[in-house]
Every structure is written in structure tokens, then in C-alpha cells.
Amino acid sequence: MSQATNENSAEPRPAEGQDGALTLTDAEKLAVAEQEAANLKDKWLRAVAELDNFKKRTRREIDDAVFRARQDLLSSFFPTADNLDRALELARGNEQLFKGIEMVAHEFRGALARHGIEVVPTIGHTFDPAMHEALQQVDSEEHPPGNVILEYEKGYRQGDRLLRPARVVIAGPGSTGPKKAGPAA
């Protein structure tokens, strides 16, 4: 750029000092300092926001890891609950055996409940693909279409999270049962 162009530009030029070096006026120094302060504040705010996001993401990842570990552990106990229910059905003829198995099953369900684990509602409720796994459809005169009529395996959930879907049989489209259905799970 030529010197004539520099003289005609709208930007203020720094004054030349005694030794020929360019010096800034107080107003220019203030403007530069304010701009630098604004840039540093912006960087600081971004760093604080990034740290906050990191903390939230880490907390979410830890919660998910704990949930997955708990789900893996508890899932290994669900077959035991299923076997206790089967044993209860087989022990119906022997009152003392039935009572003993029932006490163990009750204690086991209580332990699950203390951890917020609950059974997914099935029989008589409307089929919900988010909570139930349909194994079969059967036409029924006693149930309306889409209702769960038989449970093969209990489902479990913890709050809104499904741990294991209930494996069920649902009333098919040719069912003629009453149209009043229970709420979805």
C-alpha cells in the first residue's frame, strides 16, 4: 500500500514516537485493552460452558454404566424368579412346601422392589410393544383384540427403563371379547 493511501484511510494511525517507533494514543490503548478483555471473557465463558457440559456428560455416562451393570446383574436373577413361580405352581398340592416357596418368592420380590424393580403388568392389559414381547396371537371369546391373555415370562422394569420385556400371548384380530380393556403398561 502506498503512503498516500495510508494518509487517506479512515483508520486512525498510531503516532510516531521519538525513536521512530509507532505509539498508540490512550484511547487506542483503551480500545485494544477492551477488545482483549472481551476476547478473554468470551474464551473464559466458553471454557466454563465446556466444563459444565463435560460434567453433565460424565455424570450421564456414569449413570448409564451403573444402570447397565445393575441390569446385567439383576437380569441374571430373573430366571430364579421365574423358577420360583414355577415351583409355586407345582407345590400347590403340598401346603407346607407351597408356604415355604411362597416365603422365599415373597422375599425375593421384596429385594427387587427395594431396588425399584417392578413387574410389567400383563394379563388383561392392552399389548404394549415397548413392554411386551408377543410370542403368539390367539383368537379369544373372552378377551378383546390386542389384550394380553397369557404370560409365559414376567417382564421387569425400573422406573421408565425396561429390564426385560414380558413374553406374552395376545388376543388376535378375530377375538370377540368385551371391548373394555385395561390400561397399557
Q: Three-state secondary structure along the chain?
A: CCHHHHHHCCCCCCEECCCCCEECCHHHHHHHHHHHHHHHHHHHHHHHHHHHHHHHHHHHHHHHHHHHHHHHHHHHHHHHHHHHHHHHHHHHHCHHHHHHHHHHHHHHHHHHHHCCEEECCCCCEECCCCCEEEEEEECCCCCCCCEEEEEEECCEEECCEEEECEEEEEECCCCCCCCCCECCC
- The three cell numbers of residue 70 are 445393575
Q: Is residue 11 part of a domain?
A: no
Q: Is residue 174 part of a domain?
A: yes
Q: Is residue 123 part of a domain?
A: yes
Q: Is residue 21 part of a domain?
A: no
Distance CA 134, CA 10 (A): 77
Q: Is residue 171 part of a domain?
A: yes
185 residues of the chain, pLDDT tens digit each: 444 444 444 555 555 555 555 677 888 889 999 999 999 999 999 999 999 999 999 999 999 998 888 778 888 889 998 999 999 999 988 999 999 999 999 999 999 899 888 999 999 899 999 999 999 998 888 888 889 999 999 999 988 889 899 999 998 888 777 765 445 44
- Residue 138: CATH number of its domain: 2.30.22.10
pLDDT of residue 121: 92
Q: Is residue 156 part of a domain?
A: yes
pLDDT of residue 184: 47
Number of structural domains in the chain: 1
Q: Is residue 139 part of a domain?
A: yes
Q: 139: domain range? A: 118-179
pLDDT of residue 99: 94
Q: Is residue 34 part of a domain?
A: no
pLDDT of residue 153: 92
pLDDT of residue 71: 79
